[in-house]
Chain A
């Protein structure tokens, strides 16, 4: 049962990634792209957890944890750059 759920989840996540990548490619604005990158980070964290579930291991949990904790830093600095130019003032 869980296997099927995981497969379905993977499929949905894959679709999300594809859509995100399209948004990243098309833009039209830089903000759209930054948000696409952010979404990509979130999707990756989800995929890492799913992958761990599938293999029945906690080995990749920390990678998901790090993305959850620090993945937004990329988004933050990009936004800071777009709004202020100077990232560290």
Chain B
């Protein structure tokens, strides 16, 4: 992953990290569970339509003769108000959930990492100003800023994603700043500076690439959190619009008949929960493996 010189990586995983990660994912029951879930999510995101028993209904086609059927062999998760097979919609919905959260995390990184890297590398006034700005965005309670932005732009999945990224980047800025500060004192950065490489190049070619490991770890963990946040926005009507097979939206749609047709909301919500759980478990494993105390 290092570009250019062979540099030591700051905050980098200790030796044998890949090996120990594999071992944790395969032998720890919780790790194995999350590995299976994440692989399944990715597979569903890629070939969901082929896996779904009723692909057309997954996309939104209604079926008047099968309205609100309880779970059965024909419809494992039951059907919704429009007679659509809920299992199919959950499977097809994986793509949206994953794409949105990866997009949000990527966008947040794209904004946050350069800001943090510049702040940490330049120190002084630029650092102060950039970090004040970062703190301001963090001064909003989680999700509130995103909600206000969606409200300002109008509801919709793209606006929700943009709003989430705008309220998420400060975390990456902080993280990148931290690694940049410790990197800038390293000999290879000093060497680059002393042979006259412009600051811009140093930040882009050396600081950013070398900060990526801890940032990517954080990004993995965040994918779950963003699925939860996007689902929450969709639930209150600030995300995807019908008939999209969006998990949060599906929970909201089933809410009206939750008492008698519990399955309509329960299974899409379960999908959100299991997906978030899997990413959180992986995050926990990664944190454990990266914790220097435990490696001693």
Q: Do A and B come from one complex?
A: no
